[in-house]
Amino acid sequence: MNMKRRAFIGTLSAAGLGQALAQTTQSPVTSSPNHLLRTPLTIMAPRADGFEAVWAVSRLSLGRIEWESDDGTTGSAGADTFGFVPQGEDILRVRVAGLSPGKNYRVRSVTRAADNDETQVSAWKTFRTLDPTAHRTHFTMWNDTHIHNDTIRALHQVTPAADFLLWNGDTCNDWTRDELLVPTLLHPGECDITERAPLFITWGNHDVRGAHAFKTPRLIATPTGRPFYAFRSGPVAVICLHTGEDKPDSHPSFRGRVAFDTLRAEQAQWLRETIQRPELRDAPYRVVFCHIPLRWRDEQPPNYDKGGFDHFSARSRAAWHETLVKWRAQIILSGHTHRDAWLPPTSEFPYGQLIGGGPQKERATWTEGVADTEQLRIKVINLEGKVLRDVTFKPLA
């Protein structure tokens, strides 16, 4: 298994939007101050009543979101929680609320420079709000792309439209440079990855490494503003958890920067309360997304002093297992190991563990889930279209 960190240098070119992509996996590009928009409009954290829009700009700008529904209703969002118009020197974020569940919308951003009133309007993008009462849902998952831009472009080509795309951690190698953040998270592989599905992101162990990792929450929107959350899409209840690092918080490589034991404990308390929500408690199907698996084939303790790391998150499992069993979780979807795997449910672990592939094109996979009144079927598929794993679940009584 290749878990090496990889270096990537570059910033996104605004002038390159829509142009041919670079052929190399990790090619540097530069942004032009003559263009306000540095990235496409990214639709994140979809909800039944809205979403959050995130995009990058080249200089201090103000922004708003405009939307239209299929029935002709229109609206806009352009105020933050402190009464300001959304503004920033590099990132703009707008939370949109008041929409209807399971409805199609067209959305676009309007960006105005603070210094000279130059205005740029993005292309319209189609978006559908989540519908907790729908009889069917369709989702897709990526994991462990690690700034392999050739892999990201290939994944983007083959991943179909869905109710949501969940990027399940290790979007990067380590955040060693500030300029890695925008192209990696908002324009990966120079692809508009939310053109066919809105995006959820969970944090992987590499996503929390490096001197600039603490800045990722500025670019990653979640439904609650925390790195763990839950939602309902059709018959599927989803819980997304943050498994933290693959070594103890005290490991010297972290230089005192992390406190994931505290976060795991907070999630444990949140989880005990969250599974009581009616839309999660009564769902026919129950799915958990987290980057580091909660189970693995060989669960021998690693030797951290000799470069060992967690293939599964024993600390997370200890904190959450009892509650997940009580909730009757059916499957945990993860990445991290860079090789696909399926661990069926057992008497000790009533939930199955499904793991996607790695960052290289020959190892890369995408995961697809389709649920209706009859079954939940989840497949792990490689870039050649071969189904590597295929598991089904019947609805819970």
For 333-343, what is each residue's pLDDT tens digit? 999 999 999 99
* CA–CA gap between residue 200 and residue 270 (Å, rounded): 19
* CA–CA gap between residue 63 and residue 42 (Å, rounded): 14
Are the C-beta atoms of 268 and 319 separated by less than 8 Å? yes
Average pLDDT over residues 108-115: 96
Q: How confident is the model at residue 81 (pLDDT cuts 50, 70, 90)?
A: confident
Q: How confident is the model at residue 117 (pLDDT cuts 50, 70, 90)?
A: confident
Average pLDDT over residues 41-56: 98
Domain annotation covers residue 5:
no
Average pLDDT over residues 162-172: 98
**Domain endpoint, select from 83, 110, 128:** 128
CATH number at residue 107: 2.60.40.10
Q: How confident is the model at residue 127 (pLDDT cuts 50, 70, 90)?
A: very high
**Domain endpoint, select from 94, 128, 162:** 128
Residues 60 and 194 placed together within one structural domain of the fold: no
Residue 319 has pLDDT above 90, yes or no: yes
* CA–CA gap between residue 249 and residue 261 (Å, rounded): 7
Residues 146 and 280 placed together within one structural domain of the fold: yes
* CA–CA gap between residue 238 and residue 271 (Å, rounded): 12
Residues 124 and 211 placed together within one structural domain of the fold: no
Residues 6+ apart with CB under 8 A from 20: none
Quote the pLDDT of residue 139: 98
Residues 239 and 260 placed together within one structural domain of the fold: yes
* CA–CA gap between residue 102 and residue 112 (Å, rounded): 31
Residue 126 has pLDDT above 50, yes or no: yes
**Domain endpoint, select from 103, 128, 153:** 128
Residues 215 and 318 placed together within one structural domain of the fold: yes
Residue 25 has pLDDT above 50, yes or no: no
Residue 286 has pLDDT above 80, yes or no: yes
Residue 279 has pLDDT above 60, yes or no: yes
Residue 11 has pLDDT above 50, yes or no: no
Residues 319 and 367 placed together within one structural domain of the fold: yes
Quote the pLDDT of residue 35: 86
Residue 226 has pLDDT above 80, yes or no: yes
Q: How confident is the model at residue 390 (pLDDT cuts 50, 70, 90)?
A: very high
From 33-42, 297-306, 347-356, the region with the lowest mean pLDDT: 33-42
Q: Give the position of tokens 């105005």.
A: 112
Beta-sheet pairing, 236-240 with 285-289: parallel
Domain that holds residue 219: 137-393
DSSP annotation of 104 reads E
Q: What is the largest CA-CA distance in the chain?
A: 65
Are the C-beta atoms of 391 and 341 separated by less than 8 Å? no
What is the overall mean pLDDT for the chain? 91
Residues 285 and 339 placed together within one structural domain of the fold: yes
From 86-100, 126-140, 201-215, 295-309, the region with the lowest mean pLDDT: 295-309
Average pLDDT over residues 229-233: 98
Average pLDDT over residues 187-212: 97
- Edge to edge, what strands does the sheet with 199-202 contain? 91-96, 51-56, 42-44, 199-202, 164-168, 137-142, 365-371, 376-382, 387-393
Quote the pLDDT of residue 34: 53
Q: Give the position of tokens 């603070």.
A: 114
Are the C-beta atoms of 194 and 157 separated by less than 8 Å? no
Residue 234 has pLDDT above 70, yes or no: yes
Are the C-beta atoms of 142 and 354 separated by less than 8 Å? no
* CA–CA gap between residue 92 and residue 38 (Å, rounded): 11
DSSP annotation of 37 reads B
Q: Terminal CA-to-CA distance of the chain, rounded, Å?
A: 40
Quote the pLDDT of residue 389: 98
Written as six digits, the tokens of 18 are: 């829509």
Three-point CA angle 229, 235, 241, nearest 5°: 20
* CA–CA gap between residue 199 and residue 222 (Å, rounded): 9
Residue 5 has pLDDT above 90, yes or no: no
Q: How confident is the model at residue 80 (pLDDT cuts 50, 70, 90)?
A: confident
List 12's β-bridge partners, or say none.
none
* CA–CA gap between residue 113 and residue 370 (Å, rounded): 43
Residue 15 has pLDDT above 50, yes or no: no
Three-point CA angle 164, 138, 94, nearest 5°: 20
Quote the pLDDT of residue 21: 29
* CA–CA gap between residue 359 and residue 365 (Å, rounded): 9
Residues 218 and 326 placed together within one structural domain of the fold: yes
